[in-house]
Structure 1
Amino acid sequence: MATEVDRRRRPARRWPTVVLAALVALLAVVGVGALGATGAAGEIYTAPPPGVPVAAPAPAHDPAKPTVAIVLGPEGTNVADSLPPYEVFAATGAFNVYTVAPDRRPVPMTGGLDHVPQLDFAALDALLPGPPDVIVVPQLHAMDSAGVATVIRWLQRQRAEGRPLLLSVCVGAWVLADAGLLDGRPATSHWLGLIGLRRDHPEVRWQDGVRYVDDGDVITSSGVLRGVDGSLRVIERLRGPEVAAGAARAIGWPDYVPGTAAAIPRSSPAPPDVAGLLSAAYRADRPTTGVLLTDGVGEVELASALRPYTELSYLARPLTLSADGRPVRSRHGLVFVPRGDLVGAAGRLDRLLVPGAQAARDARVPVLPGGPPPTYLHDRPGFAFDGALRDIAATDDVATARWVAKTLQYPGPEPTLTGARWPWALTVRAVLIAAVAAGAVVLAVRLRRRRGPPPAAPRR
């Protein structure tokens, strides 16, 4: 029969078990989440399949126009850092705009979109008497790779041979900083990227809360879509604010402010961002989502079908398709190579996204046997990324859609979002992992106590 002393000791004996169970539960949640996020991140940039064609004609060159080079990294380039600036410049008709890379092999973009660069570095050098007038540097994948090292050397050579105007987009500022081209300068970048940039490059005077920092021959823009603001600033300087305003209207950009680097809200990690962590860590059943490429699709429209569903949200496993598996040409002449054809992939798809306002107007994509119905992202007017946010809110939840908008540094007010308010299924998944881990600890402790202490060793 338990004595009063025994009853008093039991609560004290439980505390080590409670602490151990809580610690193991936390480690299980973090460990499983880290494995999930690492696996999802590894799917963002995957090498193009062998046999992808590399022949794509370069556009005609007009020596009377300034030349803009959008730099691509051989191992991968952020689709939303590179395609929107390309379309902004191309929409003016006032620039020669080229995508360039160390060589003309297909470059993977976010979510498995393979693009054939219009020029390699050697061809661009042969085309121009000196450096291009403007060089745009987006986020490049595999910063420690030989391919990015080649890009950095090329940038350093361009600066040594002339004074091109450099424009970085998002953490493309990291490339310029690694090249030593931001030393002692004011600069900005994505609000998440600034955490590491301040640590690794204290020689740069980092700023936040601004769309871009114009420091003469270097303009650094903040996160992702704010590369549009930086591009419009370049157009203002070289072609005037009226041309820049026309480019903003052409892509439906709702947030153009001429003549100044207008402030934007300062972002930092906050409790609602847990929705993004849950999505990255515990969405093991990400749907295989076809992204149908069609001739004439806008470059911003195409980017909106990939970046919101992949990097920092990990909502889908995209598979780029065309109707017949052949390359397609975008609105302003970029060549993209799909990784499958619509009929052959139909049975593997959970969803099918169709970017492009023209495709939505035509609405000719068939519902194939065994395949999902098409979702037209751009069946309403407005900025192209609005459709992706509405789709994420309706298909997943509003909190995740708002996290995506925050990571994109979205312009102006978000579109009206309807759907579940929170990723409850993912929350329950995390809670169950913690509960199972804690329960295993408690069970192990109880079994050990029932068996009693190990027998003492015999004395000699």
Structure 2
Amino acid sequence: MSEMSRARRVVRRTGWALMGTVLSVASFAGIAFAGVNASMADSFAPAPDVRSLPQARAVPQGRITVAVAVSNEGSVTTDVLAPYQVFAESEKFFVYTVAAERRVSPMSGGAHLLPDHTLAEVESGTLPEPDVVVVPAVTAPAADEEQPLRRWIVERHRKGAHVLGVCAGSELLAASGLLDGRDATSFWSNIASLERDYPQVHWKRGERYVEDKRVTTTAGITSGTVGALKVVEEMAGRSEAARIGADLSYPGWTPDGPTAIPANHLAIGDLPYALNAAFPWLRPTTGIGLVDGVGEIDAAAAFEAYGGVSFATRTVVLGSRDTVTTRHGLVLVTRAATGGTHGVDRFVVPGVTGPEAVTAPLRTWARRNGLAVELPGGGKRPAEFGFDPVLRDLAAHADRRTALVTAKFSEYPSAHLELSGDTWPWRATLLAAGAVLLSTAAGFAPTAIRRTVRRRRTT
């Protein structure tokens, strides 16, 4: 065989090998991409049908008004509900939700919210100008469809409102230009990309919240609780903030506490986050039962822990009727607990003192479908924040590593948690291993085809 022939043969083999490698990588990436899309579709699921929408509460005079802005396209549940509860715990504040349209809007973890009012009602003067505007993370902060919300927030700030950006809500604020030249923070895993996309903002790491005049931004998800407490202190006094903070029991919080927190980075121990998101198949379905009067943070914790952050389970939200009103008047949309199981494997009811506090329709539905009514983590203990029982429950029914990663990605302190359960998300890991095998087999396809063709030519 001549040198030229050998060289051609090497080139052909190398080409086939490269083709197989590319095909393997593309196959694995395609499987993972499909899994992430499925996880996000479950997290921001289509809204259930609602037969009638309740009327919004009137905004009273003489109280500090807080408008929690939500996106009709999708918002992070805890970014909305936690600050809402913090402010609503004080009689000095009146809190309402506002969106571009008054229609059922998705939130992370399978939650759905009916906004109280519209942006236009404030702009037209039908509602008084808010004193505080809370801005959560939304699904597409820089997209054209959020331009009305961005303009609305900037105008409210221009007219004197204090703006509180929670978690990646800071990206929406940055896209609006409101953070130009200011100090700000955000969810820890977003800051590098924010520094690249918005270099005119002075991004800070390792801070629970950052204040710059009338703009406060917070670190990830649960940090909105602490940021809201700081705004309460500034607008209603330290004693009021201390009272609310003591009732909520956010770990380690005191009015005089430091704002510094660990500057998180991605680590190998965070792999369950990617595994659960990219390989959602065969995961269980958790039914989340809601009752009127549920605490906003208790409800939010369930949505995030079971679905919105962990991706460990699919969630189905159930109530006695189409809507549930939380402790402080927020309207959440649910599936009425009638008929079959909706695919539910476990049924948990957050924020209640015991099974007897669960409404009769929910208990009846569970009994008919052979499901026990469970309190997450055995129920909330004295002096516990709402995330503690659901993280205990997640560890017990999924695994400890997923629970710890969920706490990290919620920017929630975890050193005090007592967790028991499996050590690792084996379901997602086995699915990932299966995807590797399938992708490897796909990579051998070009070589197998080439050999088959050669054999046929020689026969």
| TM-score bin (small chain) | 0.7 to 0.9
Deviates more, 1:258-267 or 1:329-338: 258-267
Question: Quick one: structure 1 residues 263 and 302, their matched pair in 2 at CA, closer, same or farther if it must change by over 3 Å?
Answer: same
Matched with 2:402 is: 400
Q: CA deviation at 1:354?
A: 0.7
**Structure 1 pair 138–359 and aligned structure 2 pair: CA distance change class (3 A):** farther
Three-state SS of the structure 2 residue aligned to 1:290 is: strand
Residues 1:414 and 1:23: Cα distance change in structure 2 (over 3 Å): farther
Distance 1:15 1:425, change over 3 A: farther
- CA-to-partner distance for each residue in 1:211-260, whole Å, 9 max, x for gaps? 00011111100100001111011011112222111111222322313246
Moved more, 215-224 or 134-143: 134-143
Measure the CA separation in 1 of the matches of 2:31 and 2:317: 29
Name the SS for the 2:338 alignment partner.
helix
What amino acid does structure 2 have at the position aligned with 1:44? S
AA aligned opposite 1:41 = M
Q: Report the CA distance between 1:454 and its aligned residue.
A: 8.4
**24 and 326 in structure 1: CA distance in 2 versus 1, 3 angstrom threshold:** closer
Shift of 1:127: 5.4
Q: Of 69, 89, 106, which residue of structure 1 is paired with 2:87? A: 89
Q: Are 1:418 and 2:416 counterparts?
A: no
Instruction: Give TM-score, length-normalised by structure 1.
Output: 0.87
Q: CA deviation at 1:194?
A: 1.4
Aligned equivalents of 2:317, 2:452: Cα separation in 1:
58
Per the TM alignment, residue 440 of structure 1 is displaced from its structure 2 partner at its CA by 5.0
Q: Residues 43-58 of structure 1 correspond to what in structure 2 (within 5 A)?
A: 43-58=42-57
1:149 is paired with a residue whose SS is: helix
* 1:273 to 2:270 alignment: yes
For residues 148 and 130 of structure 2, what CA distance do their matches in structure 1 show? 17
Q: State the superposition RMSD in angstroms.
A: 2.9
Supply the distance in 1 between the matched residues of 2:127 and 2:438 (Cα, whole angstroms).
64
Q: Kindly, what percent of the aligned residue pairs are identical? A: 33
Q: 2:388: which partner in 1?
A: 386
Find the aligned partners of 1:17 and 1:420 in 2 and give their Cα distance.
43
1:330 aligns with 2:326: yes
2:99 counterpart (83, 101, 116): 101
> Which stretch shifts more, 415-424 or 304-313?
304-313
1:6 maps to which residue?
A: none
Kindly indicate whether residue 339 of structure 2 is the aligned counterpart of residue 344 of structure 1. Answer: yes
May I ask how many residue pairs the two structures share in their alignment?
Answer: 442
What residue number does 2:78 align with?
80
- Give the greater-gyration-radius structure (CA): 1
Quote how far apart the aligned CAs of 1:334 are: 1.4
Alignment of 1:233-244 (within 5 A): 233-244=230-241
1:52 CA displacement: 4.6
1:223 paired residue among 220, 224, 227: 220
Structure 2: give runs of 5+ residues left out of the alignment.
1-11
Question: Which deviates the most, 441-450 or 165-174?
Answer: 441-450
Give the AA of the match of 2:380: R
Superposition deviation, residue 351 in structure 1 = 1.9
> Is the 8 Å Cα contact of residues 233 and 259 (structure 1) preserved in structure 2?
no
Matched ranges for 1:18-417 at <5 A: 24-63=23-62, 65-125=63-123, 126=125, 131-145=129-143, 147-160=145-158, 162-259=159-256, 262-323=259-320, 325-338=321-334, 340-346=335-341, 348-360=343-355, 362=357, 365-366=363-364, 367-377=366-376, 379-381=379-381, 382-411=384-413, 413-417=415-419
Map Cα deviations across residues 126-156 of structure 1 (whole Å, 9 max, x no partner): 3555x32111101122335555211111112
Cα distance in 2 for residues equivalent to 1:250 and 1:56:
30
The TM-score with structure 2 as length reference comes to: 0.87
Q: Is the 8 A contact 1:47 1:75 kept in 2?
A: no
Q: Which runs of 5+ in 1 are unaligned?
A: 1-12
Q: Alpha-carbon deviation of 1:82?
A: 0.7
1:22/1:312 Cα in 2 relative to 1: closer, same or farther (>3 Å)? farther
Q: Distance in 2 between matches of 1:164 and 1:447?
A: 67
Amino acid at match of 1:342: A
Q: Is the 8 A contact 2:82 2:224 kept in 1?
A: yes
- Are 1:177 and 1:201, in contact at CA under 8 Å, matched by a contact in 2? yes
1:3 match: none
- Specify the code of the residue in structure 2 equivalent to 1:374: V
Query: Match of 1:189, as an amino acid?
Result: S
CA-to-aligned-CA distance 1:413-445 (integer Å, 9 cap, x gap):
242111110122322222232223324545763
